[in-house]
Amino acid sequence: MLDIWTRLDALGPVQRPKRSRSAVLVPVYRDDNRTVRVILTRRPDHMRRHPGDVVFPGGRIEPGETPEDAAIREACEEVGIPEDAVEIVGGLTPVTTRDPRNLIVPVVARVDRPAELVPDRAEVDVILEPAVRDLLDDSNWRASRWFGRTMWFYEFREGVMWGATGFMMRELLGHVRGDANGEWRREP
């Protein structure tokens, strides 16, 4: 298997559809034990949108920002990843949430994880850092049909990753596996 960084460096550029409204950072890093990890957050239960969901750090693209700018700004605000610790490697397919008007642009980055991640308690209940090898284990995923689409679910002790984030993660993992176009799918 090729090194994960070689596979991620082969990603296409970050897409910039005119109707994109949000961006997320897909932060990937190698820890001190050489384990490759991804940084996710669990949204607080009091949030108006997507309460309790496990998601990538991100939010609205402000006027004058690129998706990359927005994703980095939001990751800095939400979990304390310094701007200068982020190296953009490419993008994944933009996807919508339960609100089809909210097109989200995923920005994949190699990050130098700071010694401490600091959650913004207004937007982040818990920071999760799963190992990519665990996410690649298909037995940890559940799929079901939802409004005619396959929806992927991954349960953590702290919450469930699903919907747009599940779709983005599955595409990322497809690239890590070396599947054509980053696809990694099976029918439920």
pLDDT at 179: 74
Percentage, residues of the chain above pLDDT 90: 72
Q: In terms of residue numbers, what domain contains 156? A: 4-177
Q: Is residue 185 part of a domain?
A: no
Q: Is residue 130 part of a domain?
A: yes
pLDDT band at 187, cuts 50/70/90? very low
For residues 93 and 13, what is the distance between their CA atoms, to the nearest angstrom? 10
Residue 61 DSSP symbol: P
Decide if pLDDT at 148 tops 80. Answer: no
Decide if pLDDT at 184 tops 90. Answer: no
pLDDT band at 188, cuts 50/70/90? very low
- The answer to whether the CB of 102 falls within 8 A of the CB of 21 is yes
Task: Sheet with 126-128: list strands edge to edge.
Answer: 54-55, 40-42, 126-128
Q: Is residue 187 part of a domain?
A: no
3-state class (DSSP) for residue 178: coil
Partners of 95 in beta bridges: 104
Decide if pLDDT at 11 tops 70. Answer: yes
pLDDT band at 49, cuts 50/70/90? confident
State how many domains the chain has. Answer: 1
45 vs 123, residue with greater confidence: 123
pLDDT at 178: 82
Could you tell me the sign of the dihedral formed by the alpha carbons of 158, 133, 118, 82, in that order? negative
pLDDT at 145: 85
pLDDT in tens, 80-130: 999 999 999 999 999 987 777 789 999 999 999 999 999 999 999 999 999
Q: Is residue 12 part of a domain?
A: yes
CATH code for the domain in which residue 81 is found = 3.90.79.10
pLDDT at 1: 43
For residues 101 and 16, what is the distance between their CA atoms, to the nearest angstrom? 15
Helices (H), the chain: 4-9, 67-79, 132-135, 163-177
Q: Indicate the average pLDDT of the chain.
A: 90
Q: Is residue 80 part of a domain?
A: yes
pLDDT band at 149, cuts 50/70/90? confident
pLDDT band at 180, cuts 50/70/90? low
Helices (H), 24-181: 67-79, 132-135, 163-177
Q: Is residue 188 part of a domain?
A: no
Q: Is residue 86 part of a domain?
A: yes
